[in-house]
């Protein structure tokens, strides 16, 4: 199980009220595992123009929020939507230094999740923070993340993270597959590790259509993402486990005589259409790219019905 999948699973249980802004693009290791998350770039100037243009097409949710870091007006909309409250703070996942546009949010008390060692980085502005050091992933690829939060919150959040790790391990093979350890070092400092010691185990990823990042002109509805007159659709999935599994899209309103094509990172997959009640699963074996956000695609043939709705996406065995 990837470190991103582990951390997102644990943090969603320990900090259920937080709104995540994953600034790890073009990798975004937490995004796929936190369906309500927003995403963006910490250093957009380093991105090639073509890749920036591609990411700039994606939108999320009924407010059609854009990828953070590509446009000042869009960034303001993202921050307004993600504005934290004391009982529901903003959680910023960062690969490095804090972008200047986010300094006010950090000064106001946003929580920080930093990837890798923070040596050499200036301390974050605003109130003093405690630290929970998190080690996650298979033993051959252990990753370190630091969760920076108010000192008084370290002990209760550490306890919830530890409980969540025990519960997740029980679902994915138990003590034979996972090594879990941690301790409260001081009232403001703790460490927790969840390391895979056997065959890599990844829970199935299931996302409702309404929660997906997409490049359509419309907005999602309660049942899913209407495709309308669009003949092509791209879905930004975020960082995924680099392993083989089945990529499945559940669609309603298709003409089974003219199935759409399923693509992954621009490559057409050998897909099959499988009926399930009034809907269909479009599915194909697939392998995600390591260290890069994956993009799934759908291409509908000419004359396909305009009533199609994307109900869900799965990546599972």
Query: What string of DSSP letters covers 186-230?
Result: ETTEEEEEEEE-SS---PPEEEEGGGSEE--SS--BTTBEE-TT-
> Is the separation of the CB atoms in 40 and 76 below 8 Å?
no
Query: Edge-to-edge strand order for the sheet containing 267-268?
Result: 65-66, 59-60, 213-214, 232-239, 293-299, 261-264, 267-268
d(CA 28, CA 71): 18
Give the pLDDT score at 243: 78
pLDDT for 107-132, tens place per residue? 888 999 998 866 667 888 888 899 99
Greater model confidence, 316 or 67:
67
Nearest partner of 147 among 69, 228, 30, judged by Cα: 30
Confidence of residue 172 (pLDDT cuts 50, 70, 90): confident
> Is the separation of the CB atoms in 6 and 134 below 8 Å?
no
CATH superfamily of 205-316: Galactose-binding domain-like (2.60.120.260)
Domain ranges of the chain: 3-196, 205-316
Q: Is pTM, for the whole model, over 0.85? A: yes
Confidence of residue 235 (pLDDT cuts 50, 70, 90): very high
Tokens of 11: 């943090």
**Residue holding tokens 């025990």?**
166
Confidence of residue 34 (pLDDT cuts 50, 70, 90): very high
Q: What is the mean pLDDT of residues 172-181?
A: 90
Give the long-range contacts of residues 100-104, CB within 8 A, separation 24 or more: 101/69, 101/72, 101/75
| Helix, strand, or coil (residue 251) | strand
Mean pLDDT (the chain, rounded): 91
Q: What is the mean pLDDT of residues 291-302?
A: 93
> Is the separation of the CB atoms in 218 and 307 below 8 Å?
no
Residue 109 is classified by DSSP as T
Give the pLDDT score at 189: 97
Instruction: Inform me whether the pLDDT recorded for 165 exceeds 70.
Output: yes
d(CA 93, CA 251): 32
Confidence of residue 300 (pLDDT cuts 50, 70, 90): very high
Helices and strands counted in the chain (H then E): 5, 21
**Which residues, at least 6 apart from 159, have a Cβ–Cβ distance to it below 8 Å?**
none
Confidence of residue 272 (pLDDT cuts 50, 70, 90): very high
What ranges make up the beta strands (E) of 95-188?
A: 111-115, 130-138, 143-149, 178-186
Q: What is the mean pLDDT of residues 248-275?
A: 96
294-to-28, 93, 234, 236, 239 alpha-carbon distances in Å: 10, 18, 10, 6, 6
**Which residues, at least 6 apart from 101, have a Cβ–Cβ distance to it below 8 Å?**
69, 72, 75, 79
Half-sphere exposure of 61 (CA within 13 A, CB side): 13
> Is the separation of the CB atoms in 187 and 131 below 8 Å?
no
* DSSP code per residue over 140-162: GG-EEEEEEE-GGGHHHHHHHHH
d(CA 203, CA 172): 7
Instruction: Give residue 201's Cα distance to chain centre.
Output: 18
> Is the separation of the CB atoms in 131 and 188 below 8 Å?
yes
d(CA 293, CA 290): 8
């Amino acid at each position: 199980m990837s470190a991103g999948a582990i951390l997102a699973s644990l943090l969603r249980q320990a900090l259920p009220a937080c709104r995540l802004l994953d600034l790890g693009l073009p990798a975004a290791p937490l995004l796929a595992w936190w369906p309500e998350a927003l995403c963006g770039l910490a250093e957009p100037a380093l991105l090639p123009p073509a890749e920036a243009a591609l990411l700039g097409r994606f939108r999320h949710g009924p407010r059609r929020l854009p990828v953070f870091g590509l446009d000042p007006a869009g960034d303001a909309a993202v921050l307004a939507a993600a504005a934290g409250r004391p009982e529901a703070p903003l959680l910023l996942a960062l690969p490095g230094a804090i972008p200047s546009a986010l300094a006010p949010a950090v000064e106001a008390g946003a929580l920080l999740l930093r990837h890798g060692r923070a040596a050499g980085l200036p301390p974050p502005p605003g109130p003093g923070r405690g630290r929970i050091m998190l080690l996650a992933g298979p033993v051959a690829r252990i990753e370190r993340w630091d969760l920076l939060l108010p000192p008084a919150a370290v002990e209760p959040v550490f306890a919830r993270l530890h409980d969540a790790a025990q519960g997740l391990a029980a679902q994915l093979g138990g003590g034979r597959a996972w090594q879990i350890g941690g301790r409260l070092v001081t009232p403001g400092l703790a460490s927790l590790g969840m390391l895979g010691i056997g065959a890599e185990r990844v829970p199935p990823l299931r996302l409702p259509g309404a929660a997906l990042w997409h490049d359509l002109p419309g907005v999602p509805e309660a049942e899913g993402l209407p495709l309308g007159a669009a003949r092509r659709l791209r879905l930004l999935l975020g960082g995924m486990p680099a392993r083989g599994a089945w990529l499945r899209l559940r669609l309603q309103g298709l003409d089974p005589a003219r199935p759409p094509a399923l693509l992954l990172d621009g490559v057409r997959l050998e897909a099959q259409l499988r009926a399930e009640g009034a809907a269909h699963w479009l599915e194909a074996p697939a392998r995600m790219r390591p260290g890069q956000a994956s993009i799934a695609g759908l291409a509908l043939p000419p004359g396909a019905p305009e009533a199609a709705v994307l109900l869900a996406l799965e990546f599972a065995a």
